[in-house]
Amino acid sequence: MITKKGINASPGVAIGTALVLDAEDYRIPRRTVDPGQIPAQISVLDNALETSRAEVAELRVAAARKVGDQAGDIFRFHEGLIGDRRLRESVAELITNHRNTAAYAFSQIMGQRQKEFRALNDPYLKERVRDLHDIERRVLRHILGRQREDIANLSEPVIVFAHDLTPSQAVSIDRKHVLGFAIDVGGQTSHTAILVRMMDIPSVIALNDATSDVTGGETVIVDGVHGIVVINPDEATLERYRAQQREYREFVVRLNRLRDLPSVTRDDVRIQLFANIELADEAEAALEAGAEGVGLYRTEFLFLSRTRPPSEDEQYESYRRAAESLKGKPLVIRTMDLGADKMSFSMGMQHDPNPDLGLRSLRYCLQHLDLFKTHLRAILRAGVHGDVRIMFPMITTPMELRQARATLADVMEDLDEEGISFRRDIKIGIMVETPAAAIMAASLARDVHFMSIGTNDLTEYTLAVDRGNERVAHLYAPHSPAVLRLIRSVLRGGARISLPVNICGEMAGSPVYCQLLIGLGLRHLSMTPKDIPEIKRIVRSSTIAECRAVAREALRFDSDRQVLNFLRDELRKLNDDPL
């Protein structure tokens, strides 16, 4: 039995069979073959090794010609490894003695080698793990040929182990058959974490190297409440987790009873709870969870996992569907926020050397006006089907906002000229997710109808901590005094002209921050739909005076540790009251 600790990304307990997904979406199930098929598997292995070796030799010559001998050397290393007799023998031994398929046996041996390399102290050899991974992919491609199995069509329930889950994989994955996720990388507000939470599938992220501890087929437990994964649990552990699973399910049923009760504090102040969605189809589920509308529709997900950007009509259909599902309740459509870890190569996006600070989000849109205008046309047209509002992400300067607004005005003019109906009085908002925007909030506020604080990015940019990097995840703290002061600055900026201010970062759906945020002055919170019932429970158990006291006290600390400990204690006190 192996127990691994990571970050709890989506609550719940899942117990099932492990399936390892690699970066190229291969799944290599543990299969045995009939003894008669062993020679055929060995010859598949030999052919794949030989083809890969020849490919690498060609690459070596080409690289040396183009870039010089040093580049050629990298491929010499690959060539040497692929041609290594000992590698071939250990794989062949697994095939012969354990009747494994060539693919499974090869990935096993390569997994072991990568683990050995990772454990070395020599930084040069550690780096070679990436080469080993490359080699593994190359050889597997030849072994599997056309037999690649498709994660979009799983045939049985599994717990998916993956190094990472890209947004496009997540969009295409067969959700019905995934009981849980165990992922090597990521931070609390990485898009991977947001995605698994959105799918409402128990998940643990930032496990470092969990994928190399499983080969597929093992029984595993994913404890998404405490961020623990257990591989090959013994009977007593399984029993304990089965009980926890039942308890958690009962807790969810109890919480869901709050669905139709109003979100008001004990002293009758309304706190509006909205949902964050990624796809139009989620709008209905948002209402079912008790949302009063959608506070953040991340439209960029429509652009991922496609070979071409969606047409205006395709986009219009999605936005219209979301608007109609909400039956008159607000739908805040955020213009596409692509880039960084949400890349759409179909749009010719390139990885910047420093992607989070590069040509992403609104910056990308303002440099690709045709694409942006098509997007805005679709949003404006869908606007007539509901209470649709538009929100621009990643604003850093008033100039950007002006440019975005000017483009929107151009698009309106075009639609007018073409006689196409659209929402002329659309409300315009911005996300405040850079420190620059937070500091300048009072001045930005004058040009918009609402602001929404994106604490996921605001925390990353304020603390200079990559939100998706598990190695610095311990430094990522939305409750840090610096971030709290910026949130306060935005609220003050909005309050001066009575502008509505929402918050739509993950912080909004996290129980530990709920009283603090209300105490700071927030009255509109937008979150993953499944977080709504618990946040509503806290709202209904609190008074504004209590929340203000919490915020006042939290702002007195100068370290994020102190703030968090204090907030945890406060939540514990609140939780002592029965549901």
Instruction: Please select the residue that binds ligand PEP; options are 505, 509, 529, 533, rule is CB under 6 A.
Output: 505
Compare residues 211 and 528 and give the one whose CB is closer to ligand PEP. 528
Binders of Mg ion: how many residues, by CB under 5 A?
3
Compare residues 431 and 550 and give the one whose CB is closer to Mg ion. 431
The residue with its CB nearest to Mg ion is: 457
Of 22, 21, 25, 31, nearest to 101 by C-alpha is: 31
**Shortest distance, CB of residue 433 to ligand PEP, whole angstroms?**
4
Q: Angle formed by the axes of helices 102-118 and 85-98, to 10°?
A: 130
Show contacts with ligand PEP in window 173-202 (CB under 6 A).
194
**Shortest distance, CB of residue 466 to ligand PEP, whole angstroms?**
13
Show contacts with ligand PEP in window 418-437 (CB under 6 A).
433
Q: Which residue has the tokens 């807790």?
A: 251
Does 504 bind ligand PEP (CB under 6 A)? Our answer is yes
The residue with its CB nearest to ligand PEP is: 454
**Residue pair 196/165 in contact by the 8 Å Cβ criterion:** yes
Q: Rounded to whole angstroms, how far apart are CA atoms 348 and 18?
A: 36
**Shortest distance, CB of residue 456 to ligand PEP, whole angstroms?**
3
491 CB-near residues (< 8 Å, 6+ apart): 501, 520, 521, 522
Compare residues 41 and 528 and give the one whose CB is closer to Mg ion. 528
Given ligand PEP, Mg ion, none, residue 455, with its beta carbon under 5 to 8 Å by kind, binds ligand PEP
Q: Where are the beta strands (DSSP E) in 6-128?
A: 7-10, 13-21
**Shortest distance, CB of residue 296 to Mg ion, whole angstroms?**
9
Instruction: Please select the residue that binds Mg ion; options are 184, 278, 457, 534, rule is CB under 5 A.
Output: 457
DSSP letter, residue 502: E
Instruction: Please select the residue that binds Mg ion; options are 433, 470, 506, 534, rule is CB under 5 A.
Output: 433
Compare residues 11 and 505 and give the one whose CB is closer to ligand PEP. 505
- Largest separation between any pair of C-alpha atoms in the chain: 80
Instruction: Please select the residue that binds ligand PEP; options are 197, 298, 381, 423, rule is CB under 6 A.
Output: 298
**Shortest distance, CB of residue 444 to ligand PEP, whole angstroms?**
16
Given ligand PEP, Mg ion, none, residue 20, with its beta carbon under 5 to 8 Å by kind, binds none
**Shortest distance, CB of residue 533 to ligand PEP, whole angstroms?**
20
Instruction: Please select the residue that binds ligand PEP; options are 187, 224, 454, 519, rule is CB under 6 A.
Output: 454
**Residue pair 293/387 in contact by the 8 Å Cβ criterion:** yes
**Shortest distance, CB of residue 48 to ligand PEP, whole angstroms?**
41
**Shortest distance, CB of residue 337 to ligand PEP, whole angstroms?**
6
Distances (CA, A) of 432 to 195, 360, 503: 21, 15, 9
Q: Rounded to whole angstroms, how far apart are CA atoms 448 and 501?
A: 11
155 CB-near residues (< 8 Å, 6+ apart): 177
**Shortest distance, CB of residue 151 to Mg ion, whole angstroms?**
27
Instruction: Please select the residue that binds ligand PEP; options are 166, 215, 265, 455, rule is CB under 6 A.
Output: 455
Does 466 bind ligand PEP (CB under 6 A)? Our answer is no
Cβ atoms < 10 Å from Cβ of 7: 21
- H/E stretch holding 526 reads strand 524-527
Q: Rounded to whole angstroms, how far apart are CA atoms 74 and 64?
A: 10
Distances (CA, A) of 410 to 403, 404, 407, 428: 11, 10, 5, 15
Does 454 bind Mg ion (CB under 5 A)? Our answer is yes
Single-letter amino acid, residue 200: D
Does 221 bind ligand PEP (CB under 6 A)? Our answer is no
DSSP letter, residue 463: H
540 CB-near residues (< 8 Å, 6+ apart): 258, 261, 263, 264, 265, 266
Tell me the backbone φ, ψ of residue 466, rounded to 5 degrees: -60, 120
> What is the number of residues in the chain?
579
Given ligand PEP, Mg ion, none, residue 265, with its beta carbon under 5 to 8 Å by kind, binds none
Tokens of 388: 């649709």
Given ligand PEP, Mg ion, none, residue 53, with its beta carbon under 5 to 8 Å by kind, binds none
The single residue of 142, 191, 375, 385 carrying the catalytic annotation is 191
Binders of ligand PEP: how many residues, by CB under 6 A?
11
Instruction: Please select the residue that binds ligand PEP; options are 457, 531, 534, 546, rule is CB under 6 A.
Output: 457
Cβ atoms < 10 Å from Cβ of 105: 26
Compare residues 216 and 435 and give the one whose CB is closer to ligand PEP. 435
Given Mg ion, ligand PEP, none, residue 487, with its beta carbon under 5 to 8 Å by kind, binds none
Q: Rounded to whole angstroms, how far apart are CA atoms 345 and 338?
A: 10
Show contacts with Mg ion in window 472-491 (CB under 5 A).
none
The single residue of 78, 375, 479, 504 carrying the catalytic annotation is 504
Single-letter amino acid, residue 58: E
From residue 115 to residue 154, the character string flagging contacts with Mg ion as x (rule: CB under 5 A) and all else as - is ----------------------------------------
98 is catalytic: no
Compare residues 210 and 322 and give the one whose CB is closer to ligand PEP. 322
Does 509 bind ligand PEP (CB under 6 A)? Our answer is no
Tokens of 147: 């037999």
Given ligand PEP, Mg ion, none, residue 483, with its beta carbon under 5 to 8 Å by kind, binds none
Strand order in the sheet with 7-10: 2-5, 228-231, 219-223, 13-21, 158-162, 178-183, 203-205, 7-10
Interface region with ligand PEP, contact rule CB under 6 A, candidates 212-220, 241-249, 436-444, 448-456: 448-456
Q: Where are the beta strands (DSSP E) in 103-227?
A: 158-162, 178-183, 203-205, 219-223
Active site (catalytic) residues? 191, 504
**Residues in contact with Mg ion by the rule CB under 5 A:** 433, 454, 457
**Residues in contact with ligand PEP by the rule CB under 6 A:** 194, 296, 298, 337, 433, 454-457, 504-505
